[in-house]
Chain A
Amino acid sequence: AQSVTQPDIHITVSEGASLELRCNYSYGATPYLFWYVQSPGQGLQLLLKYFSGDTLVQGIKGFEAEFKRSQSSFNLRKPSVHWSDAAEYFCAVVLNTNAGKSTFGDGTTLTVKP
Chain B
Amino acid sequence: DTEVTQTPKHLVMGMTNKKSLKCEQHMGHRAMYWYKQKAKKPPELMFVYSYEKLSINESVPSRFSPECPNSSLLNLHLHALQPEDSALYLCASSQESGSSGRDEQFFGPGTRLTVL
Q: Taking beta carbons and an 8 Å cutoff, which residues of A are in contact with B?
A: 32, 34, 36, 41-46, 49, 51, 90, 94-96, 98-102, 104-107, 109
Contacts and interface: CB of A to CB of B under 8 A. Distances in A.
Contact of B98 (A34, A45, A100): A100
Interface residues of B, number: 29
A87 to B, nearest CB: 13
Contacts of B33: 100
Contact of B42 (A41, A42, A95, A107): A107
B89 to A, nearest CB: 11
A49 to B, nearest CB: 7
A14 B20 CA distance: 43
Given A101-B56, A106-B42, A41 B109 contact: yes
Interface string B69-102: 0000000000000000000001010100111111
